[in-house]
């Protein structure tokens, strides 16, 4: 076990996840409670819609003073506390908004599918820190049943890669394992995402307001 936990990972490690689907309500709760609303994207209109629907202040370029900055930050932190945010960094799905070239992404979709083979986590994750985050998620959402691998390179369909570590999450517990064969075939979506960006298509919105409001209601009850 110690040998696995001490293994090195690249700066940006490809994330592979495959698991049993969850319900749409379970997905909404996870995606809402793990999202950090203190960030931003390039779609300012979408951020405004989210802010108005949820009643949450946003970090924008229009903040002009230290007082306004901290008032906004405190408002966001209070919102997170009131809605039982689960704090994870490397494993947080970005399914509300994301300016990443591939758009919103994560190991979980709003429809409940548990799957990932197209993006990297980082930077500089460690085997142990990711294990701790899976443990946090497993305890918060004990219905999760999935297997995850981190690989020794970035996600790319033209580079040979090997799994470094495997995590098994089930029944609220996590096991760190010697990895088996590569869990999934890698998916390269960079080219498609770049084409959408170049065409000016909306690509940073990951959900509907209705899905967000459902997530908010589920998060607040816990």
Query: Is the pLDDT reported for residue 191 higher than 80?
Result: no
Q: What is the mean pLDDT of residues 8-17?
A: 94
Instruction: Say which residues have a Cβ less than 8 Å from residue 44's Cβ, sequence separation at least 6.
Output: 60
Q: Taking each helix axis from N to C terminus, what angle separates 209-220 and 44-54, rounded to the nearest 10 degrees?
A: 40
Provide the pLDDT for residue 26: 98
For residue 50, give Cα distances in angstroms to 39, 54, 68, 147, 216.
Answer: 12, 6, 20, 32, 11
pTM reported for the whole predicted model = 0.90
pLDDT band at 199 (very low <50, low <70, confident <90, very high): very low
Beta carbons of 177 and 19 less than 8 angstroms apart: no
* Helix H or strand E segment including 167: strand 163-170
pLDDT band at 39 (very low <50, low <70, confident <90, very high): confident
Taking the CA atoms of 109, 101, 182 and 151 in sequence, report the sign of the dihedral they define. Answer: negative
Q: Which residues pair with 165 in a beta bridge?
A: 150
C-beta neighbour count of 54 within 10 angstroms: 19
Least confident of 61-70, 142-151, 186-195, 200-209: 186-195
Give the span between the Cα atoms of 32 and 85, in whole angstroms: 8
């Amino acid at each position: 076990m110690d040998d696995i936990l001490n293994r090195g990972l690249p700066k940006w490690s490809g994330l592979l996840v495959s698991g049993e689907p969850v319900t749409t309500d379970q997905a909404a709760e996870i995606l809402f409670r793990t999202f950090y609303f203190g960030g931003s994207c390039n779609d300012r209109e979408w951020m405004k819609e989210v802010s108005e629907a949820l009643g949450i202040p946003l970090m924008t370029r229009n903040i002009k003073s230290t007082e306004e900055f901290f008032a906004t930050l405190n408002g966001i932190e209070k919102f997170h506390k009131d809605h039982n945010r689960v704090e994870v960094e490397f494993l947080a799905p970005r399914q509300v908004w994301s300016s990443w070239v591939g758009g919103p992404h994560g190991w979980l979709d709003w429809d409940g599918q548990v799957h990932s083979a197209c993006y990297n986590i980082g930077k500089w994750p460690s085997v142990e820190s990711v294990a701790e985050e899976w443990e946090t998620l497993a305890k918060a959402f004990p219905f999760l049943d999935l297997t995850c691998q981190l690989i020794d390179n970035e996600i790319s369909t033209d580079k040979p890669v090997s799994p470094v570590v495997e995590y098994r999450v089930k029944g609220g517990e996590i096991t760190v394992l010697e990895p088996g064969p590569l869990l999934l075939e890698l998916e390269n979506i960079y080219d498609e995402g770049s084409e959408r960006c170049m065409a000016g298509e909306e690509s940073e919105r990951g959900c509907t307001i209705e899905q967000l409001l459902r997530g908010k209601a589920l998060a607040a009850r816990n």
